[in-house]
Structure 1
Amino acid sequence: MTDDILFAKQGRIGLITLNRPQALNALTRAMCVALHRQLMDWAIDDDVQAVVIEGAGGKAFCAGGDVVAMHRDGQAGSPDFEGFFHDEYRMNQAIAHYPKPYIALIDGISMGGGVGISVHAPYRVATEKTLFAMPETGIGLIPDVGGTHALPRFPGEFGTWAGLTGARVKGGDCVAIGYCTHYTPSAEISVLKERLAISHEPFADVLGTFHTDPGHLTLPALRDGIDYLFSQNQVEDILSLLDEGDDWAMEQAAIIRRMSPTSLKLTLYGLRAGEGASIEQALKLEYRMVNAIKQGYDFYEGVRAQLIDKDRSPKWSPARLEDVDIAPYLVEPAGGDLRFD
């Protein structure tokens, strides 16, 4: 076990606390394995009627996976690279099918892997401190952790927009785009957690009692434009529409052009494939992609530029969308496809 993730029973709930505040509660492989194992134990524990997950430290729920460690493992050719994704994705699938209510209290930053341990749950609570993003196209990855299953199920094309641009969505807008199901002020989260633990009311009723109006939102007004601009099935076609649009649209085009062309192509392919896919099919495709990404260039360059050297000037290869061939990223890995038995 690891002190980076804590488990406790409080009243009728099993409480999971991500406990790496110094790293914004970023997930390690050991944390993924421990979380999965604990979920299986609590699934057959009659004392645990629901699972609640939170992040320690007051700033982040979970800022993602430890991509710097993945960068190191991948460059070294270590099997720990694909091992991390193998264990994380199986944990994501367990959350998606969990037999008891699973409630994510997203009181802070939630990116990448943090989305994977929350978005597949039936109950996801945002606060004014919530910050959602899937920024993977900026580091040569894809919005994985079942993101290619979840994002297409956001209203309209919000998921396509978020997946391609890495857009940061705050507070109540996280409910508007479909990431969260409830909104509660941060100051009330501790009381909500206590009520979930000790109340005899159905969990949905407790969450409904604490759900409040987040006030003014910015994204609903952009919905029609996003649905039109991001409905195309080729990145080039989305960019053509954006280039002809207003200042906001052109800003989105500029953002997309800073991302890895390979990641953009893989992401849009995965999102469209995920529309009619099961969570297992989506994760299997994502696993194929990340195994091939390990053998490529852009992930190492993206992490270097954004997180290691921090020069924010990645040099992608290929550098042009028209030169990207995603076919090698869609085949079964040498070590075999992801399995869930």
Structure 2
Amino acid sequence: MASEGIAAEAVGLEARRVGRAGRLMLRRPQALNALDLAMIRALHAQLRLWQDDPEIEIVILEGEGRAFCAGGDVRRVRAEVLAGDFEAAETFFAEEYALNAAIAHFPKPYLSLMHGACMGGGLGISVHGSDRIVTETAVFAMPETAIGFAPDVGASYFLPRLAGALGFYLGLTGARLTGADAVHAGLGTAFVPSERLAELGDALVRDGRAAIAHFSAPLPAYSLAPVLSAIDQSFSAESLPDILARLEAMDSDWARATLAELRRHSPSALCWSLTSLKAGARMDLDSALAAELRLAQRLMRLPEFAEGVRAMLVDKDRKPRWQPARLEDVDPRMIRDLFRP
């Protein structure tokens, strides 16, 4: 029974104390619970209150409607950039990444119950916690290269730590994983049928993390299993031209489809994203988030970000005009300058 209710629906978040659990609900369903600055601030403030509260033993995060969280509200960030309000855009990224770090360092179990879209910033508020329980409806992705950006929210840390070269494949292509595949890959921690997710939430309040074992279902087969060796062979290459060359040398439908996907993305974004992922593989999470913030502050000022968000999320014509349009024309000095201290 709820002993205390903290309504923050005006900022897209509801926080409730239920027994010894803190329950958080993202409540911006019309935007697939995409995170804006008000939601980020409300989440962070609530975690600060609960981390030192001896009566809160576990925190449970959910999303209202048909998605867990489709990412950060980059349409608003783009509008701020186009209006010349770089300070507001920088504040968004700085506070989002600070929230990601707070979740990673949260001293109590922090569980995400994930269904529908779990993308970009949605991974930032879940993957750094103790448990990610996913359903068959969940779809995981880091699609930043498609909008002229780079995998962030700590992705430069957690993607390279997936088995083999899987994280580089996911970070560069933006490939989507089903809920079961996300568990196989290591992004999810348990698989629960969607019809039992609400029941699990109530059981977690009563029994804590022990309840997960009673609701977990056997994992379906890993759909990526047949192409894992090809992923490792191609995406372990040192440079983007080498990755493309290895894919071109493979005579398979998967390789051809992967090549076609990569060629739809910003050539520049592919280059700086690969550089970021390789750097993050050598960093701890806090260092990776700091590096991502420096990079984000620079990328948001480039034409690729505004154009990518326009094509994919604003006009939705899916016809971005990348500058440059060819990988051969990407200036290596520009990529290096993005990563200067």
TM-score range, shorter chain: over 0.9
Structure-1 residue corresponding to 2:339: 330
Structure-2 residue corresponding to 1:135: 143
Whole-Å Cα distance in 1 between the matches of residues 77 and 11 of structure 2?
A: 20
Deviation at 1:212, TM superposition (A): 1.1
Q: Is the 8 A contact 1:262 1:321 kept in 2?
A: yes
Deviation at 1:294, TM superposition (A): 2.0
Structure-2 residue corresponding to 1:247: 253
Deviation at 1:181, TM superposition (A): 0.7
Q: Is the 8 A contact 2:179 2:188 kept in 1?
A: no
1:144 lines up with 2:152 in the alignment:
yes
Structure-2 residue corresponding to 1:216: 221
1:77 lines up with 2:88 in the alignment:
no
Partner of residue 324 from structure 2, selected from 318, 325, 333? 318
Q: Percent identity?
A: 43
Whole-Å Cα distance in 2 between the matches of residues 52 and 266 of structure 1?
A: 35
Partner of residue 11 from structure 1, selected from 4, 10, 19? 19
1:92 lines up with 2:97 in the alignment:
no
Partner of residue 260 from structure 1, selected from 266, 269, 273? 266
Aligned residue runs from structure 1 range 1-341, under 5 A: 2-57=10-65, 59-78=66-85, 79-199=87-207, 203=209, 205-245=210-250, 246-322=252-328, 323-324=330-331, 325-332=334-341
Per-residue CA shift, 1:177-217, capped at 9, x if unaligned? 11101000011111111111012xx51x2212211113233
Whole-Å Cα distance in 2 between the matches of residues 311 and 24 of structure 1?
A: 20
TM-score normalized by the length of structure 2: 0.93
Whole-Å Cα distance in 2 between the matches of residues 8 and 321 of structure 1?
A: 50
TM-score normalized by the length of structure 1: 0.93
Per-residue CA shift, 1:34-62, capped at 9, x if unaligned? 111111110011111011100001x1000
Whole-Å Cα distance in 2 between the matches of residues 83 and 328 of structure 1?
A: 22
| Long gaps (5+) in structure 2 | 1-7
Whole-Å Cα distance in 2 between the matches of residues 262 and 275 of structure 1?
A: 20
Deviation at 1:331, TM superposition (A): 3.1
Whole-Å Cα distance in 2 between the matches of residues 241 and 327 of structure 1?
A: 24
Q: Is the 8 A contact 2:310 2:316 kept in 1?
A: yes
| Long gaps (5+) in structure 1 | 333-341
Deviation at 1:66, TM superposition (A): 0.8
Whole-Å Cα distance in 2 between the matches of residues 298 and 25 of structure 1?
A: 25
> What is the one-letter code of the residue matched to 1:151?
L
2:68 alignment partner, SS class: strand
Deviation at 1:228, TM superposition (A): 1.3
Per-residue CA shift, 1:244-291, capped at 9, x if unaligned? 111211210111111111211111111111112111111111111111
Whole-Å Cα distance in 1 between the matches of residues 311 and 146 of structure 2?
A: 10
Whole-Å Cα distance in 2 between the matches of residues 267 and 211 of structure 1?
A: 35
> What is the one-letter code of the residue matched to 2:241?
E
Deviation at 1:300, TM superposition (A): 0.7
Deviation at 1:69, TM superposition (A): 0.4
Deviation at 1:308, TM superposition (A): 1.6
Q: Is the 8 A contact 1:176 1:219 kept in 2?
A: no
Deviation at 1:161, TM superposition (A): 0.7
Whole-Å Cα distance in 2 between the matches of residues 225 and 313 of structure 1?
A: 29
Deviation at 1:33, TM superposition (A): 1.0
Bigger Cα displacement from structure 2, 313-322 vs 281-290: 313-322
Q: Is the 8 A contact 1:103 1:122 kept in 2?
A: yes
Deviation at 1:83, TM superposition (A): 0.7
Structure-1 residue corresponding to 2:3: none
Structure-2 residue corresponding to 1:339: none
Bigger Cα displacement from structure 2, 165-174 vs 208-217: 208-217
Whole-Å Cα distance in 2 between the matches of residues 140 and 166 of structure 1?
A: 12
Whole-Å Cα distance in 2 between the matches of residues 62 and 126 of structure 1?
A: 13
Q: Is the 8 A contact 1:288 1:331 kept in 2?
A: no
Q: Is the 8 A contact 2:11 2:42 kept in 1?
A: no
Runs of 4+ in 1 over 3 A off after TM superposition: none
1:105 alignment partner, SS class: strand
1:153 alignment partner, SS class: coil
Q: Is the 8 A contact 1:183 1:214 kept in 2?
A: yes
> What is the one-letter code of the residue matched to 1:98?
F
Deviation at 1:98, TM superposition (A): 0.9
1:188 alignment partner, SS class: helix
